[in-house]
A and B are shown apart, each in its own frame.
Chain A
Amino acid sequence: MDKNFLVIENISKSFGDNKVLENINLNISKSEFFGLLGSSGSGKTTLLRILGGFEKPDTGRVILDGTDITNLEPFDRPLNYMFQSYALFPHLNVFNNLAFGIKENFTQKEIEINVRNIAELLSIEDLLNRRIKQLSGGEQQRVALGRCLIKKPKLLLLDEPLAALDKKLRSKTQLELTTLQKKLKITFVFVTHDQEEAMSLSDRMAIMKNGLILECSSPEEIYENPKSLYTANFIGIANIIEIYKKDENFYSDDLGINFKLNKELKNTKTNILLRPEKIKIQSINNLKTSSFNSFSGEILEKSYLGSFTRYEIKIKNMIISVLDQNFNSSSNYNFPKGEKVICSWESESIKVLED
């Protein structure tokens, strides 16, 4: 596998005084499904537009499959861009939208075969004679995708590919998109502000903030071992606890308890991350509180989520979120509001946020 299929080198971009991207470096492999995740204003869309050729970077280079494409016009780049709004041509029907990019290089017969094939791949064969306005959001998304894929691009850029779809359709399309990508082996780079979308689609993803890449890794790695406070908070639910060294162990003033870490720290004071599903919750009658990695608290809020119940547990000055899997089928398994419970966790579950 070519590790350096798409190389983004020292890309910076400003709009006036506003620095949108600062020295971005990324290497993306061939056939990788790569996500750029960030909130609005993080520069993720500008980076995607630079890859598409719609913006010129102030500095840096973009190299695709060994060729420097930094100064190529969009129509000379061997890649395609799927717009968030889909940007389908309202004056053409579905067939002609799909055929738009291949009309010049193929005969009528070849165009027809290509369009049929792509329509079959995306199961939109029945829509070919429809006008764009007669399509649902999901159908438009498929046509937009098909219009790009018919060109057999080396790289497909997707701007918020699922944002315009409703929730139910989104999860279905998510699955279809990953299946399609694995089947076609085309490199996908997409932009999203939705962390769940990024996690479920990406092979690897980059977290962006204020024009910088904070972290770039697999979704599992970023979720389990985030390097920064921002990432830990941005991805999933996070309990962030400040601890400092006290004798042999670490102590949290907010919780009033000791922590035992299984690794040494550089600093005497740091933030730790405790994911809510790593915390075990037990009835106070079953157990005595241990001297570390455990606390007793009162259930302040609970929300039943079907497969999980989310508790907000108050202890001293802090509220800790806990996700408890609903293992038993009995409905009175859940702890009621106001009940005192004991929470505990393994030392390995504590992630130190060094930055």
Chain B
Amino acid sequence: MKNKLFEKYFVFSPYFWLVLFFFIPLAIIFKISISVSEWGMPPYQDIFLFDNGFKINTTFENYVYIFSDYYYIGSFVNSLILALISTFFCLLIGFPLAFYIATSNIRLRNILLVLVVIPFWSSFLLRVYAWKIILQNNGILNVILLNLGIISEPLQLLYNQYAVIMGIVYTYLPLMILPLYGYLNKFDLNLIEASKDLGLNRIKTFFKVILPLSVPGIVAGSLLVFIPVVGEFIIPEMLGGSDRLYYGKILWEEFFVNRNWPGASALAFSGIIILVLPIVIFQLLYSRWSQKNEI
């Protein structure tokens, strides 16, 4: 009896977690986003006033403010584009790697998997900082290229959007490889042989058999990369320049530099809705589709 009760709560524990660390904070953010801002601490007014009787003190002006200024929408669009490009490159590099790992023998496979995970053992900040050292004007890469005589003056490799994309692809690649590996690991290699036997060469076999059967892994890996990259703050801050503003940085500035908590909250809340809603719909449609196709 006691065990049953424990099992019941144990099953629900992820939901407690979700409520505690996602829905409650989200509700607080929403509450702040509809508050009226003022100078003070905290920098917004309460939404329920009891001075002269009960009064609800809310406003949607913060939303009007961020949606009327392209500065905010533009940064969000930039972040979406950045996330799309980064996810694409992660997939391009991650898929062959995951496939190679999944199809190699068990000893090599374990070594390769450890190599994929090893970067996680060191600090994320250190790893991004290391790229700064590699890419800066008198950094390792420029010194090598100069000494080899390939270039005559240092290349500006750092502080632009390309450095940001590179840093993100580097950091998020394991998040693409691991779920892909999880699916490809179960892949029946006889299917590839069967396809070749039936007359399809390697490229056609890839598009007709391997790719369609990898869709669940591709979706899982892509979402795992795409969603956090949209809100990524540290990598654009450290490797990026002023050529492009990203959503994460704007959000941070709005909170901590401009101290416009209601505006920043409106921005954060809109971002979550714009990002999460389509993904939830997509997931629902996708799970229906995959059930129908039994992949």
Interface residues of A (CB under 8 A from B): 52-54, 73-75, 77, 80-81, 83, 85, 87-91, 100-101, 104, 131-133, 147-148, 151
- Given A90-B294, A91-B295, residue A85 in contact with residue B188 (CB < 8 A): yes
Quick one: given A83-B190, A85-B188, are A90 and B295 in contact (CB under 8 Å)?
yes
Q: Which of B191, B200, B295 contacts A75 (CB 8 A)?
A: B200
**Out of A81, A83, A90, A148, which one reaches B213, CB within 8 Å?**
A90
Q: Are B294 and A75 in contact (CB under 8 A)?
A: no
Task: List 12 other contacts, CB 8 Å, given A75-B200, A148-B197.
Answer: A54-B193, A73-B201, A74-B197, A83-B193, A87-B188, A91-B212, A91-B293, A101-B199, A104-B200, A131-B293, A133-B294, A151-B198
Q: Are B196 and A73 in contact (CB under 8 A)?
A: yes
Is the pair B294, A89 in contact by a Cβ cutoff of 8 Å?
A: no
Most buried by A among B198, B201, B293: B198
Q: How far is the CA of A201 from the CA of B209 in the complex (A)?
A: 33
List, sorted by A's number, 15 A–B pairs whose CB atoms are closer than 8 Å: A52-B197, A74-B193, A75-B196, A80-B198, A81-B197, A87-B190, A89-B209, A90-B294, A91-B213, A91-B295, A100-B198, A131-B293, A133-B294, A147-B198, A148-B198
Are A80 and B294 neighbours in the complex by a CB distance under 8 Å? no
Whether A85 pairs with B197 at a CB distance below 8 angstroms is no
The docked-state distance in angstroms from the alpha carbon of A253 to that of B188 is 56
B160 within 8 A of A: no
Classify the secondary structure of A's interface with B.
loop
Residues of A within 8 A of B193 (CB): 52, 54, 74, 81, 83, 87
A80 touching B293 in the complex, CB below 8 Å, given contacts A85-B188, A87-B190: no
A52 to B208, CA, bound (A): 21
Query: Once the chains are docked, how many angstroms separate the CA of A88 from the CA of B194?
Result: 8
For residue A147, give the distance in angstroms from its CB to the closest CB of chain B. 7
Task: Check if B195 is an interface residue, CB within 8 A of chain A.
Answer: yes
- CB closest residue in chain A, given B194: A87
Contact of A87 among B191, B199, B200, B295 (CB under 8 A): B191
Residues in B neighbouring A101, C-beta threshold 8 A:
198-200
A-contacting residues, B189-241, CB 8 Å: 190-191, 193-201, 208-209, 212-213
Q: Is the CB of B194 within 8 A of A83?
A: yes
Asked if B213 contacts A104 (CB within 8 A), the reply is: no
With A91-B212, A91-B293: A100-B188 Cβ-Cβ less than 8 Å: no
CB distance from B113 to the nearest CB of A (A): 23
Q: Chain B residues near A91 (CB, 8 Å)?
A: 212-213, 293-295
The answer to whether A89 touches B191, judged by C-beta atoms less than 8 angstroms apart, is yes
Q: A89-B209, A91-B213 are in contact. Are A151 and B190 (CB under 8 A)?
A: no
B188 touches A75 (CB 8 A): no
Looking at the assembled complex, report how far the CB atom of A143 sits from the nearest CB atom of chain B, in whole angstroms: 12
What's the minimum C-beta distance from B187 to chain A, rounded to whole angstroms? 11
Rounded to whole angstroms, the CA-CA distance of A88 and B198 in the bound complex is 12
Cα–Cα distance between A115 and B197 once the two chains are bound (Å):
18
Q: How far is the CA of A213 from the CA of B197 in the complex (A)?
A: 26
- Report the bound CA distance from A112 to B281 in whole Å: 37
Residues of B contacting A147 in the complex (Cβ-Cβ under 8 angstroms)? 198
* Complex-state Cα separation, A77 to B293, whole angstroms: 31
Q: Are B190 and A131 in contact (CB under 8 A)?
A: no
Taken together as a complex, chains A and B put the C-alpha atoms of A75 and B208 apart, in Å, by 14
Q: Which chain B residue has the least Cβ–Cβ distance from A85?
A: B190
A229 to chain B, nearest CB (A): 36
A131 touches B195 (CB 8 A): no
